[in-house]
Amino acid sequence: MNNQVGNAQLMQIMNRLKVLNFVRNNPDCSRPQIAEATGLSLPSLTNITTYLLEVGILCENGVESVSRVGRKSVLLRLKADKYDLICVLLKESGVVIARTDMEGTVKETQQLWIEGMSSTVITNRVCDAIVSMVNACEKDRVLGIGVAISGLVLSDSRFIMSSKLKWNSFDIKTRLEDQTGIPVFIDNVSVLKAAWYFSRNFKNSNQNMLFVDLENGIGAVVYQGGSIQRNIIGEIGHTTVEKDGPKCFCGNDGCLEVMCSPQRLLNLYKEEAKNNTSGEENAGKEVKTLAELEERFLAGDVAAKGAIADCGKYLGIGLANLVNLFNPATLVIDTGDFSDCPSIIEEAREELCKRAYVALTQKLPMMKVKETQENVICGTAFDLCDKVFDISSPANIIE
């Protein structure tokens, strides 16, 4: 008898989560739409939505706009301000800590400058700031804490390494959970960007798509069947493309991330310019930004052309490897660090078409985007909700 009761309660929770997730991803939907999508009967659905309305996690938002005769269906949506989330973005230059609602709308932010600090000092500062923000909220209002970082993060939120931050470990999860009693999830920033981008632009697509992030290193995320493929960690930046290349922070030589980094691009220009004896007006002059380098490239500067061609070739090799492996229907590139130097993306596109199977590139659209810091915060909130509304999550709040 106890097993039967337990199974019934578990099924009830699963159905509530199923409804909640559908409404969250399809705001302003009607009960008939939910029933059709979830396979639940209308009586069962009515019981579930009544409960979710009573606990205040769903709300009614008008009625459907249709011309048919008869009673119009009430529209439901997530009551996003019922709970808060703490979303943290760790970058090389600083940390952004945001308190948001369940849809990622920012309520307050705090920025910490961390340049030149040790990982221990940074961890202390970040933890203190998060605990202070949590303590300023109502008790039990914060559902979860999400941390976005450029680096290798395994599925159990274990952080392994960030070559951009020069960290080999980052023990913040256990510490924050002990201090706040709130579940903490650490994830790769490229995954969170991709999750938010695809949820906005390809929500109902079952195509196989690839998101390549060129900010703070190089990450690749596979989106297939309407969701991120979490078993593919996407560390394309730490694949070897030049066996005798410069040493990477990860310990290997010639990683893609090193061979086409902004710093190497500027260093290459400096070396090329030293050897430039063509008598050009800018010959030998240093450039400090990729925007300056792009200007010189467009003006026909030989050294700029050489530097961009070199780095673009390696980036193209990396992209070709990804296309040959995953055969995406769409390739999305977040230009990131190279937003001010689009010519390197074009060089990479040409190299990609030379090296990947022709049949895979003939009809392959390559979309260039620039995901903002605000989008990363929204992506972190979106992913956090996925986790706290997952039946298997210890953070699940639905009873």
- Mean local confidence (pLDDT), 254-281: 83
Q: What is the reported pLDDT for 71?
A: 75
Please write the tens of the pLDDT for every residue from 15-64: 898 999 899 888 999 999 999 999 999 899 999 999 999 999 999 998 87
With 50 as the cut, is the pLDDT of residue 5 above it?
no
Tokens of 155: 């599925």
Q: Give the pLDDT band of residue 324 (cuts 50, 70, 90).
A: very high
Q: How large a percentage of the chain has pLDDT more than 90?
A: 60
Distance of CA 84 to the CA centre of its chain: 20
Q: How large a percentage of the chain has pLDDT more than 70?
A: 92
Q: Which of 2-6, 114-118, 234-238, 283-287 has the lowest mean pLDDT?
A: 2-6
Whose tokens are 């069947």? That residue is 225
Contact 154, 230 (CB under 8 A): no
Q: Are strands 58-63 and 209-213 parallel, antiparallel or unpaired?
A: unpaired
Q: What is the mean pLDDT of the chain?
A: 88
Tell me which of 157 and 270 has the higher pLDDT. 270
With 60 as the cut, is the pLDDT of residue 133 above it?
yes
Q: Are strands 142-149 and 84-90 parallel, antiparallel or unpaired?
A: parallel
Using alpha carbons, select from 218, 216, 198 the residue that is nearest to residue 208: 198
Q: Quick one: DSSP state of residue 239?
A: S
Torsion of CA 90, 92, 96, 102, to 10 degrees: -40
Count CA within 13 A, CB hemisphere, residue 25. 24
Contact 167, 151 (CB under 8 A): yes
Q: What is the reported pLDDT for 209?
A: 95
Q: Give the pLDDT band of residue 381 (cuts 50, 70, 90).
A: very high
Could you tell me the CA-to-CA distances from 53 to 3, 12, 385, 389 in Å, in that order?
A: 29, 16, 18, 16
Q: Give the pLDDT band of residue 379 (cuts 50, 70, 90).
A: very high
Q: Give the pLDDT band of residue 119 (cuts 50, 70, 90).
A: confident
- What are the structural domains of the chain? 2-78 (1.10.10.10), 82-194+374-388 (3.30.420.40), 202-371 (3.30.420.40)
| Cα distance between residue 303 and residue 297, in whole Å | 8
Q: What is the reported pLDDT for 398?
A: 63
Q: What is the reported pLDDT for 335?
A: 96
Contact 183, 395 (CB under 8 A): yes
Tokens of 16: 């509530």
Asked whether the CA dihedral 68, 73, 77, 79 is positive or negative, the reply is positive
DSSP-derived 3-state class of residue 224: strand
Whose tokens are 């300023």? That residue is 136
- Mean local confidence (pLDDT), 162-170: 74
Q: What is the reported pLDDT for 84?
A: 95
Could you tell me the CA-to-CA distances from 315 to 139, 307, 320 in Å, in that order?
A: 48, 13, 9
With 90 as the cut, is the pLDDT of residue 162 above it?
no
| Cα distance between residue 183 and residue 213, in whole Å | 27
Contact 92, 115 (CB under 8 A): yes
With 70 as the cut, is the pLDDT of residue 68 above it?
no
Q: Is 363 left (phi over 0), alpha (psi -120 to 50) or beta?
A: alpha
Look up the pTM and report it: 0.87
Q: Give the pLDDT band of residue 1 (cuts 50, 70, 90).
A: very low
Using alpha carbons, select from 305, 359, 360 the residue that is nearest to residue 327: 360
